[in-house]
Structure 1
Amino acid sequence: MPGNKANVLRQLVTFGAIGAVSVALQSALYALSRIWTGPLLANLFSLVICTLVNTEANRRFTFQATDRPVSRVHLEGIVVFVGYYAVTSGALAVLQAVDPAAPRWLEITVLVASSLLGTVGRFAVLRAWVFRRSRAAEHDNSSA
């Protein structure tokens, strides 16, 4: 069991580092795309790009699931994406309802805060569902 705790800690640290880079990239893409589109479409654009990169980085580095087919991981990742997009877009929609003229810095602050909330759920779902089989195989290998 101690090895499992160390593995979870390693996964959390790696996931956090990848997530931090992803949120920074998402924020930059969001700010750039907000020049020509509304907040929900800008969020969708920035999140699609970042999710593809983020999921692949987590497949390789966080969960070390190179045995999983890339297409399957990304298909399952779409389900996770929908929940994450709902959290971040919901937060932006609430902000727009409360203050339709909210400054861009406030939109990005809300986006980052909701991304942090979504990230907690994303880690749990990726670990428990998308990369579950790889963890089981890793456990079998460590006990051999």
Structure 2
Amino acid sequence: METAQSRQQAAPGTFTAFARFVLCGGGVGLASSFAVAGLASWIPWILANALITAVSTLLATELHARFTFGAGGRATWRQHAQSAGSAAVAYAVTCVAMLVLHQLVAAPGAVLEQVVYLSASALAGVARFAVLRLLVFTRNRSQAAATVRAARPVHTTVARASAPADPAVLCQAA
């Protein structure tokens, strides 16, 4: 019982989880940007980006399971699949943002590209945080809460069926 309670208390609040999400996701993202640049010197950029995105998503999901959302252990295959789905949507959002930029501006500078890419990444990241917190890693918190609730005895009161009470008595009780 004490273990279930400590697991329930270990789940961080929204602000703490978001700060950890930014730290873990940002750290992995920063390392990934260097990895993509390095790998792109050997293979096409789009392939390098896809490979690094896959690896970084696996790493980030493990970090989020263990550290960000306080799941208390390794991520499950289901959580990895759901996280990969949210990462794929975030990847699509950043690709669309860059495509739109290149449709609107004939030759955007590196600074403008970075502003657009990072803005799209930030918006996608906030949405991804919500998906991971509310859908992907919520199961562990609800299981811990259910374990705590099940460990406590539940006292209930059962009312007996009886003949209708006298209306005068009902009025006095109210």
Which position in structure 2 is the counterpart of 1:78? Answer: 84
TM-score by length of 1: 0.75
- Name the CA distance, whole Å, in 1 between partners of 2:22 and 2:144: 21
Describe the superposition over 1:7-60 as per-residue Cα deviations: whole angstroms up to 9, x where unpaired.
22221121121122123123323444555535x555434422321211111011
1:87-102 maps to which residues of 2 (within 5 A)?
87-99=93-105, 101-102=107-108
Gaps of 5+ in 1: none
Equivalent of residue 62 in structure 2, options 48, 56, 74: 56
Equivalent of residue 134 in structure 1, options 135, 140, 164: 140
How many residues are treated as equivalent by the alignment?
141
Which position in structure 2 is the counterpart of 1:112? Answer: 118
State percent identity of aligned pairs: 30
Gaps of 5+ in 2: 1-8, 153-174
Residue 80 and residue 88 in structure 1: after superposition, are their counterparts in 2 closer, same or farther (change >3 A)?
same
- The answer to whether 1:37 aligns with 2:44 is yes
Structure possessing the higher radius of gyration over alpha carbons: 2
- Name the CA distance, whole Å, in 2 between partners of 1:127 and 1:37: 34
Describe the superposition over 1:49-88 as per-residue Cα deviations: whole angstroms up to 9, x where unpaired.
3212111110111112246752111111222122111111
Residue 141 and residue 7 in structure 1: after superposition, are their counterparts in 2 closer, same or farther (change >3 A)?
farther
Coordinate RMSD, CA, aligned: 3.0
Residue 19 and residue 69 in structure 1: after superposition, are their counterparts in 2 closer, same or farther (change >3 A)?
closer
